[in-house]
Structure 1
């Protein structure tokens, strides 16, 4: 088993990687952050160390290994969404992880068990990014927000983002620069969809009681 910093990630040995992966140092970096994409595993597939076909790639976490299986059209959709994130200068592994957490492909405690896996659509991703920009968030701000709360891309613009911003503005009087600062400090408020009034509904990650 391949282990970095006492965390097990994949079912091939480190000696295999040294022997067969010409970009070992780059692969190691991706493994440390939990993502293995097709481009980093080509050498391993060539040697038969990974048998998954081109339609599959593996996202690994400390808890478990998760394999995303996509058809050709779905793969194009995924890559289009990554292109939409390219302006923020994320690494390839960061883009995969952001989209994976936002759309249920990688487990996120934020969603609990409610988030079904789906392949994101680039129009949806762009709509969310465009709306966030209308709130006074620069691309640098969005980069920080997406790193802190990647799940925002999986939220509904109308049912969650706009609704929650309206609550912040109308009920709390938080607007303009104050709203921008709040979203950078606590971006999860954008995805709140529960208000238990103190009577816990076991959905604490999305409850206004945390505000």
Structure 2
């Protein structure tokens, strides 16, 4: 049954399925809906119907999460979610992890510095492989991303690798002790400030918390 028109095109769907309506057929997409601010939206069997759409901006919907991307190909977002499939996250959890890591969902961790960007599958895989090389199993990585989803948005070369070097060379933390530390405090992977007690208002990323 066709419902009343919604007041806002950014309404959250009760279902994880979204629909694109055309004059020819009805194509089902998973969690991806084209956004056109001037289009009119109507309920169609729990989905969304629009007579025209723009490819320049997309909104990813799940039951309580909305993630807006500017990439013309929403499949890139879906490919990044697929890269997380071995960690037993729900579709909604994957959207939240990627959203917080790349600035699409607000996270206090980044303060105001995080510029919204789209993730890249190659970068995600490089980060995951690096973390595995530190002795973290996929079960461990599930815990790390659950506690600290922003880890996927940290710089591998400028933050993670140097920080592991500091832990190993300056603190003598290696092997099982390093694994336990990362499970307990994964935010250490993203530290990039050391105020030495003279606060510079970057507390979530400061070594003073270590």
Q: What is the TM-score normalised by the length of structure 2?
A: 0.74
Answer whether contact 2:71 2:118 (CA < 8 A) is retained.
no
Instruction: Describe the SS at the equivalent of 1:110.
Output: helix
Q: Are positions 1:190 and 2:193 aligned together?
A: no
Q: Are positions 1:117 and 2:119 aligned together?
A: no
**Structure 1 residues 122, 11: CA separation in 2 closer, same or farther (over 3 Å shift)?**
closer
The structure carrying a bigger helix percent of its residues is 1
**Structure 1 residues 111, 176: CA separation in 2 closer, same or farther (over 3 Å shift)?**
same
1:1-211 map, 5 Å: 37-38=31-32, 43-46=45-48, 55-58=58-61, 68-73=68-73, 75-211=74-210
Answer whether contact 2:192 2:206 (CA < 8 A) is retained.
yes
The structure carrying a bigger strand percent of its residues is 2
Answer whether contact 1:68 1:105 (CA < 8 A) is retained.
yes
**Structure 1 residues 60, 193: CA separation in 2 closer, same or farther (over 3 Å shift)?**
farther
- C-alpha RMSD of the superposition: 2.9
Instruction: Describe the SS at the equivalent of 1:119.
Output: coil
Aligned pair count? 177
For structure 2, the 5+ residue unaligned runs are 1-9, 18-29, 34-42
**Structure 1 residues 52, 100: CA separation in 2 closer, same or farther (over 3 Å shift)?**
farther
For structure 1, the 5+ residue unaligned runs are 1-9, 28-35
Q: Which has the larger radius of gyration?
A: 2
